[in-house]
Homo-oligomer: A and B are copies of this chain.
Amino acid sequence: MRSHYCGQVNETLVGETVTLAGWVNRRRDLGGVIFIDMRDRDGIVQVVFDPEQSAAIDKADSLRQEFCIQIEGKVLARPEGQINSDMKTGKIEVLAQQLTILNRSNALPIDFNSEVSEEQRLRFRYLDLRRPVMNDKIRFRAKVTSFVRRFLDGQDFLDIETPMLTRATPEGARDYLVPSRTHKGKFFALPQSPQLFKQLLMMSGFDRYYQIVKCFRDEDLRADRQPEFTQIDIETSFMSAEQVREVTEKLVRELFQELLNVDLGDFPSMPYSEAMSRYGSDKPDLRNPLELVDVADILKDVEFKVFAGPANDAKGRVAAIKVPGGAAKLSRKNIDDYAKFVEIYGAKGLAWLKVNDIAQGRDGLQSPILKFLPDEALTPLLERVAAEDGDILFFGADSAIVVTEALGALRLKLGEDLELNENGWRPLWVVDFPMFEATDEGLFALHHPFTAPVGVTADELEANPEAAISNAYDMVLNGCEVGGGSVRIHDSALQSAVFRILGISDEEANEKFGFLLEALKYGTPPHAGLAFGLDRLVMLMVGAQSIRDVIAFPKTTTAACVLTDAPGYANTQALDELGIAVKALKEKG
């Protein structure tokens, strides 16, 4: 029904007849001549209905926005003054000779040219997606997945599907459950990730696996989460952590080179401890020049208990952030707002110090806590942070967790507010994570319980679990974790030890992971892998504000689809067949 896409019609076709199919993007009438901006997936071209040259002029008069049309016409060079150099097709126009109205359109419920609420955009998603700005994002995503597949196919990875109807996991509280009709009273779970299946695929000898796969998490949707999201899931046998990082780094580097013409260079590696200490985050945004500087050693002898307390506590931390040029830029009001901001992270206050004129000594400084800082602390403090005139220092002094989180968050906020972030892309690997995180309720796995520790036996691990470092790695890009993975445990004794450390009894482990523990007994190869969050990666690449913009049919922040009105009520007969009943009937009203 077409000879060319609209966006392909250019000056090389002048004089030729083309057939186009698409939509009326815009219509203008000028002195009896009708101009249509005709749009399809590839672009926009100007179509002219001229009463003196076009038989279709009468029919064209009925055209309205988003009518679906087919035209046949002759490509003409635009007169000199009418060339539009902003348009790919701006040097030509198409003089319509035939017009077929394929479908009419009611007046649109959303205006393509002004801000529309996200609710309306999602309700009429099929119209929202017609907008080039949205259409391009989804097309870009298709280019990303196509590139990723070609790259991994080229590296001998096998695309293998894993089940969607799976066994509930221990983190089951966040599982979507699916009642079984055949086995009444029992439930499948939708996978939070194909983790165990990809390990089973390594045990099956497939050597290199990948899958671009939907995963599910039924949780309160924070700002930018989706109940169903997509992973680029990768697993390998007989490869070290370094080799997995090498191949996945190459994938991302070539992806950026091919689709964005950006050279990401080699990714630096940073231990988790350094990331937390210098950036207050396990996914540091290196575009932001600010750093956390530890100053506990300098302040541990001051009388000011706010500082001295945490400085002398093994679990405390005292650190400063220096904002160059911040003294003049930040008003008292700004500083108060930042103090409130860090309260979110548990900080009880936010001490600050402005360096107005360092040559004047104390008189050149301004701070509510100046009086608590004797010279023998102040001088080395200013030296440690390399303070210069115009700087402002912020201080955090509390438990290490609170200081790290609060200053880590403050660092990001200052970077944004003061537009300190450099442009471009700053990837890195964060490595050497602790195996376990200690909480009041016991030890938790920082990654997942199938992650291998570095260089310890099962006995050594159980003897001192908190000291163990995991062989895990996160790929971080501009402050987002875009991928994460690890070497997995391939030894059943070590796997059992990790379950015990996590407080999972042998009985519970057997019930939940018996098949895994058993599989580990039959020559499981060493294996390691990684998973990328595709939605987030694409979001970063296209510069979208939300992953919802790179998903064709996303759910709202309350996990609903306003387009199809899902979820909905099930009919009683269906529930009967499943052997379940809805308790919350009162909501149905």
Chain A residues engaging chain B, CB cutoff 8 angstroms: 1-2, 5, 21-24, 39-41, 66-68, 70, 102-106, 108, 124-127, 129-130, 135, 138-139, 141-142, 145-146, 149-150, 153, 158-168, 172-173, 175-190, 196-197, 200-201, 203-207, 214, 216, 218, 220-221, 227-228, 230, 237-240, 490-491, 514-515, 519, 521-526, 551-553, 555, 558-561, 563-571, 573-575, 577-585, 587-588
Contact A142 B164, CB 8 Å, known A68-B523, A177-B179: no
Q: Which B residues touch A566, using CB under 8 A?
A: 165-168, 188-189
- Chain B proximity of A187: nearest CB distance (Å): 5
Q: Pick from B196, B553, B570: contact of A162, CB below 8 A.
A: B553
Q: Pick from B126, B142, B164, B220: contact of A214, CB below 8 A.
A: B164
A-B contact pairs, 26 of them (CB 8 A): A2-B238, A68-B526, A104-B523, A105-B523, A126-B201, A135-B206, A138-B158, A139-B158, A142-B158, A146-B153, A161-B552, A162-B552, A163-B555, A175-B574, A177-B570, A177-B575, A181-B218, A186-B567, A187-B567, A187-B569, A189-B566, A200-B563, A515-B563, A580-B582, A580-B583, A581-B581
A588 and B185 form a contact (CB under 8 A): yes
A523 and B103 form a contact (CB under 8 A): yes
Residue of B nearest to A187 (CB): B570
B167 and A138 form a contact (CB under 8 A): no
B555 and A165 form a contact (CB under 8 A): yes
- Chain B proximity of A267: nearest CB distance (Å): 23
Contact A41 B205, CB 8 Å, known A519-B126, A587-B184: yes
B161 and A551 form a contact (CB under 8 A): yes
**Complex alpha-carbon distance, A88 and B395, angstroms:** 69
Q: Which B residues touch A526, using CB under 8 A?
A: 1, 68, 102-103
Residue of B nearest to A41 (CB): B207
The oligomer's copy count stands at 2
- Chain B proximity of A142: nearest CB distance (Å): 4
- Chain B proximity of A528: nearest CB distance (Å): 11
Q: Pick from B1, B68, B125: contact of A524, CB below 8 A.
A: B68
A561 and B125 form a contact (CB under 8 A): no
Contact A159 B185, CB 8 Å, known A126-B200, A172-B574, A581-B581: no
**Complex alpha-carbon distance, A66 and B520, angstroms:** 12
- Chain B proximity of A41: nearest CB distance (Å): 4
Q: Which B residues touch A41, using CB under 8 A?
A: 205-207
A1 and B158 form a contact (CB under 8 A): no
Contact A567 B188, CB 8 Å, known A159-B145, A161-B214, A238-B2: yes
Residue of B nearest to A65 (CB): B523
Q: Which B residues touch A178, using CB under 8 A?
A: 176-178, 190, 567
B205 and A40 form a contact (CB under 8 A): yes
Given contacts A22-B205, A105-B522, A183-B567, list 18 more A-B pairs with CB under 8 A: A104-B523, A126-B203, A135-B205, A139-B206, A142-B159, A161-B551, A165-B555, A165-B567, A166-B564, A167-B564, A173-B577, A176-B178, A177-B178, A180-B559, A186-B568, A514-B565, A515-B563, A515-B565
**Complex alpha-carbon distance, A187 and B587, angstroms:** 13
- Chain B proximity of A148: nearest CB distance (Å): 11
- Chain B proximity of A531: nearest CB distance (Å): 16
- Chain B proximity of A526: nearest CB distance (Å): 6
Q: Which B residues touch A567, using CB under 8 A?
A: 165, 167, 178, 180, 183, 186-188
B582 and A579 form a contact (CB under 8 A): yes
Q: Which B residues touch A559, using CB under 8 A?
A: 180-183
Q: Which B residues touch A24, using CB under 8 A?
A: 523
Q: Which B residues touch A583, using CB under 8 A?
A: 185, 579-581
Q: Which B residues touch A182, using CB under 8 A?
A: 218, 220-221, 558-560
**Complex alpha-carbon distance, A166 and B559, angstroms:** 11
